[in-house]
């Protein structure tokens, strides 16, 4: 959910992980003989499957170990930039990819994968466990497998508002109220995945009148930053900044508790639920992958119980497979909006560039 799913918080290090899972499995008492010899690459070394993703992705390590026990192959992560930058780079190398599986394409970016014949069709055998509502239609649905959801929302520093006896905003429309002048920070849709999701949400809310909404936000002092990290970790008051409203994720509250390392039992932030925009993250097999069979096995495994169960506390997103158990901190503090804003993926694909250019004329 960068996700820019990407859901990193002040105490969470950026992970670019190469997991030596074969060693880890042996250390945990695993028996390599139980799964046979590891497959070999053309150089004769143990096989690996390369996962191309954004730089805030955290590999679910226990699940990665289970994947190795099952297949004999390790998972190597190649990560750089946010989801948009990773997709752009992948499109430039279409047919000669730097990895086997692409992960982190979200619902606002999905249409771009058709541009350069980037992915190979693949449908996991267990896809029926994934709700139809998060699957993509037509050709896109044959290329991209849903893995997680993580709604993009405006969150608020509840203590800041309470100390000043200012009521919390209630929805996107309330953000243009003069009571919230100079209080909101958002991300640019040009450079940020959550920024683009928030722009899509404004289109869902206001229809063809969305440019007028952004003109009102501008006039009410909205601040625009290049990335989620800039806005949350620099400008948001919970992090020591001067803006008590920020575009972030519905999972921000439990993340604040987890990464306080026991200092806080409740989050400082609250989610303004009627601002939430649905964001789904997808995985696909890269055309020209060096290890296409392992790539298909990894995409299949990403909707397995092992992988899905680890997502909440590794990447702070919701599992896409219904019925996956959630950790208590997620059950208590994460928000699952009943009716998130969304725009069909095919419309986003057709109009995204025009929306961004129009947004730039207003805010830049």
- Residue 208 near residue 121 (C-beta atoms within 8 A): no
For 152-277+336-363, CATH gives 3.40.190.10
CB-facing half-sphere around the CA of 144: CA atoms within 13 A: 29
**pLDDT, tens digit, 9 for 90 and up, residues 204-244:** 999 999 999 999 999 999 999 998 989 999 999 999 999 99
What architecture (CATH level 2) is domain 21-150+279-324?
Answer: 3-Layer(aba) Sandwich (3.40)
**pLDDT, tens digit, 9 for 90 and up, residues 169-212:** 999 999 999 999 999 999 999 988 899 999 999 999 999 999 99
Strand-pairing partners, residue 152, are 249, 277
Q: What does the chain come to in residues?
A: 364
Tokens standing for 218?
């501008």
Q: Tell me how far apart the alpha carbons of residues 104 and 280 are, in angstroms, rounded to a whole number.
A: 9
pLDDT at residue 157, as a whole number: 98
Q: Tell me how far apart the alpha carbons of residues 42 and 232 are, in angstroms, rounded to a whole number.
A: 45
What element of type H or E holds 126?
A: none
Q: Tell me how far apart the alpha carbons of residues 100 and 118 are, in angstroms, rounded to a whole number.
A: 11
In the chain, domain spans:
21-150+279-324, 152-277+336-363
> Does 152-277+336-363 match 21-150+279-324 at the fold level?
yes
pLDDT at residue 41, as a whole number: 44
Q: Tell me how far apart the alpha carbons of residues 239 and 12 are, in angstroms, rounded to a whole number.
A: 13
Within 8 A by CB and 6+ apart from 60, the residues are 306, 307, 310, 311, 314, 315
Strand-pairing partners, residue 69, are none
pLDDT at residue 102, as a whole number: 98
User: Phi then psi for 271, rounded to 5 degrees?
Assistant: -90, 130
pLDDT at residue 364, as a whole number: 83
Neighbours of 81 (CB within 10 A): 18
- Residue 223 near residue 244 (C-beta atoms within 8 A): no
- Smallest CA-to-CA distance from 97 within 322, 293, 287 is with 287
User: Phi then psi for 28, rounded to 5 degrees?
Assistant: -90, 10
Strand-pairing partners, residue 101, are 51, 285
- Smallest CA-to-CA distance from 111 within 226, 225, 196 is with 196
What element of type H or E holds 57?
A: none
- Residue 168 near residue 302 (C-beta atoms within 8 A): no
Q: Tell me how far apart the alpha carbons of residues 65 and 44 are, in angstroms, rounded to a whole number.
A: 21
Mean pLDDT, 10 residues at a time, the chain of 364 residues:
40 34 34 38 66 94 97 95 88 96 92 91 96 92 96 97 98 97 96 92 97 98 94 96 97 93 91 95 97 98 98 95 95 92 89 96 93
pLDDT at residue 349, as a whole number: 87
Which residues in 140-158 are b (16+ Cβ under 10 Å) and which e? bbebbbbbbbbbbbbbbbb
State the Cα torsion 243-244-245-251 to the nearest 10°: 120
- What pairing do the DSSP bridges indicate for beta strands 223-225 and 74-79? unpaired
What is the Cα gyration radius of the chain? 21
Neighbours of 322 (CB within 10 A): 9
């Amino acid at each position: 959910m960068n996700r820019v799913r990407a859901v990193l918080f002040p105490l969470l290090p950026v992970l670019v992980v190469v997991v030596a899972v074969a060693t880890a499995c042996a250390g945990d008492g695993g028996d390599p003989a139980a799964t046979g010899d590891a497959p070999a690459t053309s150089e004769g070394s143990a096989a690996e499957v390369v996962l191309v993703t954004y730089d805030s992705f955290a590999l679910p390590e226990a699940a990665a170990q289970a994947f190795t026990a099952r297949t004999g192959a390790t998972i190597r992560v190649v990560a750089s930039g946010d989801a948009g930058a990773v997709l752009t780079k992948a499109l430039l190398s279409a047919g000669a990819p730097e990895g086997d599986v692409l992960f982190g394409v979200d619902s606002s970016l999905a249409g771009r994968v058709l541009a350069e014949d980037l992915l190979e069709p693949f449908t996991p055998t267990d896809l029926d466990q994934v709700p139809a509502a998060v699957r993509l239609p037509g050709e896109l649905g044959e290329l991209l497998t849903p893995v997680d959801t993580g709604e993009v929302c405006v969150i608020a520093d509840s203590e800041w508002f309470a100390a000043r006896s200012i009521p919390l905003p209630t929805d996107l429309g309330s953000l243009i109220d003069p009571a919230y002048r100079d209080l909101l920070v958002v991300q640019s849709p040009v450079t940020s995945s959550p920024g683009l999701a928030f722009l899509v949400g404004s289109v869902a809310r206001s229809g063809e009148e969305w440019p007028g909404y952004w003109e009102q936000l501008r006039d009410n002092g909205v601040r625009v930053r290049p990335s989620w990290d800039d806005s949350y970790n620099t400008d948001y008051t919970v992090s020591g900044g001067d803006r008590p409203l920020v575009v972030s994720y519905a999972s921000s509250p439990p993340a604040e508790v987890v990464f306080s390392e026991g200092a806080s039992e409740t989050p400082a932030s609250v989610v303004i639920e009627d601002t939430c925009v649905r964001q789904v993250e997808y995985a696909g097999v890269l055309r020209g992958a060096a290890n296409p069979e392992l790539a298909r096995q990894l995409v299949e495994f990403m909707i397995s119980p092992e992988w899905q169960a680890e997502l909440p506390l590794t990447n702070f997103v919701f599992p896409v497979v219904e019925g996956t158990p959630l950790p208590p901190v997620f059950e208590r503090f994460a928000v699952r909006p009943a009716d998130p804003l969304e725009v069909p993926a095919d419309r986003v694909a057709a109009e995204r560039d025009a929306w961004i250019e129009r947004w730039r004329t207003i805010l830049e």
